[in-house]
Structure 1
Amino acid sequence: MFLLLFSTVLLVALIFWLSKRASADPYGEFHLALNKLPGEGDPQTEWLNMGYWKDTTVFPRACEALALKLAQAAGCKHGGQVLDVGHGSGESLVFLLTHPSVARPSQLTGITSLKAHHKRSQMRVARLEQPVPVALHAGDAIYRPGCQGHPLDPSSEGQFDTILALDCAYHFQPRTDFLRQAYAKLRPGGSLALADICFAPGALKTRWTRCVTAVLRLMPRANMVSTDEYVAQLRGIGYADVRLEDVSADVFPGFIRFLRTRGMGWKTFGALLAVYAGAGARFVVVAGRRA
Structure 2
Amino acid sequence: MENIGKIPFNYEWRNRWIIIKEFIQNPVKEIWFLRDKFKVSELYTGLAKRDRDLNNPNIPQWLNFGYWQEETTYNGACAALARKLGEIAELSPKDQVLDVGFGFAEQDILWMRENNVGAITGINTTEIQVEIAKERVARAGLAEQINLQVGSATEMPFAENSFDKVTALECAFHFNTREDFFAEAVRVLRPGGKLALADCLPRVGREINFWLRVNSNKMCIPFANQYDQHIYVEKLKKHGFLNIQAIPISEYVFPAAVHYFTQVGQQISKHDIAIDLQKDNPGIEAWSRDRGWFMAFDDYVLFSGEKPN
Contact 1:111/1:138, CA 8 A, preserved across alignment: yes
Provide the rounded CA distance (Å) in 2 between the counterparts of 1:274 and 1:12.
18
Are residues 1:28 and 2:48 paired? yes
Contact 1:81/1:105, CA 8 A, preserved across alignment: yes
Provide the rounded CA distance (Å) in 2 between the counterparts of 1:70 and 1:262.
26
Provide the rounded CA distance (Å) in 2 between the counterparts of 1:62 and 1:160.
28
Partner residue of 2:195?
192
1:281 shift after superposition: 2.6
Residues 11 and 265 of structure 1, relative CA distance in 2, 3 Å threshold: farther
Partner residue of 1:138?
150
Are residues 1:274 and 2:292 paired? yes
Residues 274 and 225 of structure 1, relative CA distance in 2, 3 Å threshold: closer
Greater relative CO, 1 or 2 (CA 8 Å, sep 6+): 2
Deviations 1:186-224 (A, max 9, x none): 11111010110122333235xxxx243122123211100
Partner residue of 1:56?
71
1:286 shift after superposition: 0.4
Provide the rounded CA distance (Å) in 2 between the counterparts of 1:255 and 1:71.
22
CA-based RMSD of the aligned residues comes to: 3.1
Partner residue of 2:238?
236
Provide the rounded CA distance (Å) in 2 between the counterparts of 1:236 and 1:66.
27
1:107 shift after superposition: 1.5
Alignment of 1:16-95 (within 5 A): 25-30=45-50, 43-95=58-110
Q: When the two structures are superposed, what TM-score results if normalisation uses the length of structure 1?
A: 0.79
Residues 30 and 163 of structure 1, relative CA distance in 2, 3 Å threshold: farther
1:25 shift after superposition: 4.1
Contact 2:193/2:307, CA 8 A, preserved across alignment: yes
Q: When the two structures are superposed, what TM-score results if normalisation uses the length of structure 2?
A: 0.75
Provide the rounded CA distance (Å) in 1 between the counterparts of 2:69 and 2:180.
32
Contact 2:44/2:126, CA 8 A, preserved across alignment: no
Partner residue of 1:288?
305
Tell me which moved more, 51-60 or 122-131.
122-131
- For the residue of structure 2 that corresponds to 1:108, the secondary structure is strand
1:262 shift after superposition: 1.4
1:245 shift after superposition: 1.0
- For the residue of structure 2 that corresponds to 1:92, the secondary structure is helix
Deviations 1:83-111 (A, max 9, x none): 1111112212211222x3xx212121001
Aligned-partner residue type, residue 73 of structure 1? I
Partner residue of 1:153?
157
Are residues 1:122 and 2:140 paired? no
- For the residue of structure 2 that corresponds to 1:26, the secondary structure is helix
Residues 30 and 189 of structure 1, relative CA distance in 2, 3 Å threshold: farther
Structure 1: gaps spanning 5 or more residues:
36-40, 144-151
1:71 shift after superposition: 0.6
Aligned-partner residue type, residue 252 of structure 2? D
Aligned-partner residue type, residue 147 of structure 2? A
Aligned-partner residue type, residue 47 of structure 1? W
Partner residue of 2:168?
165
Deviations 1:19-52 (A, max 9, x none): xxxx99423244665x9xxxxx875211011111
Contact 2:137/2:143, CA 8 A, preserved across alignment: no
Provide the rounded CA distance (Å) in 2 between the counterparts of 1:200 and 1:233.
16
State how many pairs are aligned.
Answer: 261
1:54 shift after superposition: 1.2
Provide the rounded CA distance (Å) in 1 between the counterparts of 2:260 and 2:127.
28
Provide the rounded CA distance (Å) in 2 between the counterparts of 1:249 and 1:31.
28
Q: Percent identity?
A: 28
Residues 134 and 245 of structure 1, relative CA distance in 2, 3 Å threshold: same
Residues 120 and 243 of structure 1, relative CA distance in 2, 3 Å threshold: same
